[in-house]
Amino acid sequence: MESTSKPSVTTNVQTSTSNQVETLMKRAQLSLEDHEWDRAYDFFEQVLSIEPENPRAYIGKLCTEVKVSSEEGLAECAYQITELNSYKRAMQFADERYRKTLEKYALTPEERRAAYSEEKEQQYKITLDRLELVKRRQDIKECKTLVDELEQLGDYNDSQLILREITNPIVGDDGLLKCALCGRGSQQPNRTMCWNCGIEFRRE
């Protein structure tokens, strides 16, 4: 008779602990959204009693201390959060990726605007490079990605002008449409998207 393996006690305990932390974090977040600062603080403290090196719990505590209802709200906070112990602890235990996010929350409004402009400019240049590659290679796999990136850039520089140009189909002498991005023609005039690359036509 074959013996069936059973989950180890250690595995069961780890799963139970993970579920408990997840539940407490959810309740803490809901309390934050409801501006129940003391209640949220208590939930985050309970998380830290189980996982004392949980950086997101420290950031949750920080949110209750400066009274913002979400982590993202720290970016607009008037307090110098770098001086607060909860922020220092979060930075201590955060991995490299999360630490970079936390560093952005600590920027001054002027520094945030400068960083935002720099990020936008970098993304803009990457998108323009992608546009040239798409046009040269007629790489249909990149067409929809390119449109998405231009939409994300919003009104930055001439992003919207480029978006209008590549999504506005070209009407031939025969009345059929040609995609301005991938270059495929012979498309019926009532089509709402390119049958080749899949981008949505936006007629003007």
Q: How far apart are CA 129 and CA 78, in angstroms?
A: 38
Paired strand residues for 193: 200
Q: Residue 133's pLDDT band (boundaries 50, 70, 90)?
A: confident
Average confidence (pLDDT) over 178-184: 86
Q: How far apart are CA 36 and CA 97, in angstroms?
A: 29
Sign of the Cα torsion 52, 57, 59, 61 reads: negative
DSSP collapsed to 3 states, 6-55: CCCHHHHHHHHHHHHHHHHHHHHHHHHHCCCHHHHHHHHHHHHHHCCCCH
- The string of pLDDT tens digits covering residues 148-158 is 999 988 888 89
Q: In whole angstroms, how far apart are CA 38 and each of 35, 63, 67, 68? A: 9, 11, 10, 13
The pLDDT of residue 65:
96
DSSP, collapsed to helix, strand or coil, labels residue 160 as helix
The pLDDT of residue 90:
97
pTM: 0.54
